[in-house]
Each structure stands twice: as C-alpha cells, then as structure tokens.
Amino acid sequence: MPNILRSWLETHRQVLDGSRPILRNSAPPEDFGDLDTLIDRSFKAARVGIWECSLPDETLRWTDTVFELFEIEPQSKIRRDDIVALYAPESRLELKAVRDRAIETGEGFSLDARITTARGNLRWIRITAIVDRINGRSVRLFGMKQDITTEKVMFEQIRRMSEVDSLTGLTSRARFEELFREICEQPHQEPHALLLIDLDGFKAVNDRLGHQAGDAFLQLTARRLEDAAPQAVTRARLGGDEFAIIHPWQTREELTALTRQITRALNDRNSLVSHGLTVSASIGVAAIRPAATPEEIFLRADRALYSVKAGGKAAFNLDLRP
C-alpha cells in the first residue's frame, strides 16, 4: 500500500471514534486545497470506507460509507459475528484464512468478498487490511472496504463473452480449446472422446433463406445437441456450422450408441421440408488417449470426419485406436 495512504489511514483513527467529523459534500470549496479533504472526498466518491477491529475483543468501528456498503443504518451498534454472517460461505472461509494469517504474522491482506447486505442485496466488496502489533502481538486490524460490485459484474460479462458462444449459448472455441487441453493432459482419467460435428447442407439455408434463418437453425442445433448429449463435459461451437463435444465413454458400443443418437437428432428432414431443404450431420470421433497430444487427437477426429464427408455424409466414423 502506498505510504501516503497508510499514513492517511493511521492518522484518521479519529474518524472512527467520532472525535473528528467525517467530511461531507457540504465542505466549502476552499477546503479542496487540503490533502485530507481531497482524500476524504475521493474515498467517498469511490465508495470506500474505513474500518477498524480491535483485538482480542473484536470490537468493530466503521465510517458511514462502510455502513452504507452493508446497508446498515450509520453508527448502529454492530457485532462482528453478525457482520461475518452476511458474507457468502466461500468468502467467509477465505476471510477467516487470510485474517488468521494476518493476526499471526502481522502482514496485511487484500480480499474480494461476496456479501448479502442487511437488506438482502448481493454485493461485492474489496477488503484491505493493515495489522498493528505491540511487542510482537497483533492488537488491531484496520483498513478500507470498497464496493466493487460494478467491477465484478463487468468482469463476469467479459468472462462470459470469452467463454460462451454468443449466438448459440454453447461453449466458445477459445474455452473449448482450454478444456480439451486440460482433459488431454490429465493422467489416469476416465476415458473421454472428442466428437467433431459438421452440418451437411447448412450453407443452402443461409443462401436461400438468409442469415437470420441460418442463425435460428444454429440455435436449434445447439438445443438438439444439449438434448442428445446431456452428460457431455462440454458442447461447443467451433465456428460457422462446426461443433464439438467432449464426452466420457467406457465401451465402443456405448460411444457408438451416443454418436448415432446425436446423428439422428441433427438429421433434419422436417423443419425445412417446405423450403425443399434438408440438413444432416457428419461426425468424426477420436478417443482421447494419454499417449497422444491434443493436436494428434484433434487430427484423428478431423480425419474421421473427412472420411464421412467423402463417403456420402449423414453418418459417423470412430477412431478408437490406442
């Protein structure tokens, strides 16, 4: 933490016990030349509050902004146990771990935690802590709490955009490649197979009915894949009319039955019949073997798919070699 902020926190303990007034928006313009005023106003605008917890009695003291973050009436009487109960279970465990370590070592910490406010609203806060020690014993924790809910929502949206195909809701190609590599590199795992799927005749849907109809058909295909392979590790759209599935398997018969089920689900002779169009699926399957690289396995599935396309389409081919 920058020295200026640490110094500011350490010299503003009076805010917590009420001996120094908290600066509010009514401060006169000339006060903006004062560094304390600027920091106070900046913290308020950024939804940052100051907190203190004395040890070992666990007494809490907060500035008004922290009360606002938890949606508790400012300057209400608060108990640490009641506040900790507002944290999500996983955040509660993380907080205990880093807090215990801080008290033991004297080193501060920073933690992003999820809470449910006193009014029942979900919120993310960032906790920054400094430890005061006397004669090698921790006597006080203090620092900042900041509302980072907007930041977390934006991050989740960006993450989802990178991991989910925006048109179909299936796994994106980038995320599929990560999962595929992870599974290929796991030793002594349950057998899995890679299924590469290509829609036969889909180009005619776009050419004759337009891209809006084509997009609707791809969305229908995604739903059919979900219904046909509900136990898949992932169902992904690789691009255009190309899809992939990673699925566990035990026997050739089991994998053959699954692949046949997917082929039947994607062979569409009804929804487009009035337009004189049909769409089918060609599928190439390769077993994921520990001795092979992800590139080798993908190439095997791709070659199996190509053999189906060359042999008349609307079928599948399995490469389950060791």
If you write DSSP's letter for every residue of 243-288 in order, what string do you get? EEEEEE-SSHHHHHHHHHHHHHHH-BSSTTGGGT--BEEEEEEEEE
Active site residues: 241
CA distance 147 to 25: 19
- State the average pLDDT over residues 75-85: 94
CA angle 189, 259, 319 (to 5 degrees): 60
Identify the pLDDT of residue 11: 53
Q: Which of 219, 196, 194 is nearest to 309 (CA)?
A: 196
**Helix residue spans in the chain (DSSP H):** 3-11, 13-17, 35-45, 64-69, 80-84, 89-105, 149-163, 173-184, 202-209, 211-228, 252-266, 294-310
pLDDT at 189 over 50: yes
Tell me if 256 sits within 8 A of 307, measured CB to CB. no
Supply the mean pLDDT for the chain. Answer: 86
CA distance 98 to 143: 14
| Portion of the chain with pLDDT greater than 90, in percent | 69
Tell me if 55 sits within 8 A of 139, measured CB to CB. yes
Higher-pLDDT residue of 90, 14: 90
Identify the pLDDT of residue 321: 85
Please measure the distance between the N-terminal and C-terminal CA atoms of the chain and give it in whole angstroms: 55
Domains of the chain: 3-153 (3.30.450.20), 164-319 (3.30.70.270)
Tell me if 27 sits within 8 A of 37, measured CB to CB. yes
Q: Please, is 85 exposed, middle or buried when counting C-beta atoms within 10 Å of its C-beta (0-12, 13-18, 19+)?
A: exposed
Identify the pLDDT of residue 127: 95
pLDDT at 215 over 90: yes
- State the average pLDDT over residues 276-289: 93
CA distance 233 to 319: 19
Tell me if 126 sits within 8 A of 145, measured CB to CB. yes
Instruction: State pTM to two decimals.
Output: 0.59
pLDDT at 71 over 90: yes
Q: Give the tens place of pLDDT for each residue, 130-184.
A: 999 999 999 999 999 999 998 888 877 777 777 899 899 999 999 999 999 999 9
Q: How confident is the model at residue 60 (pLDDT cuts 50, 70, 90)?
A: very high
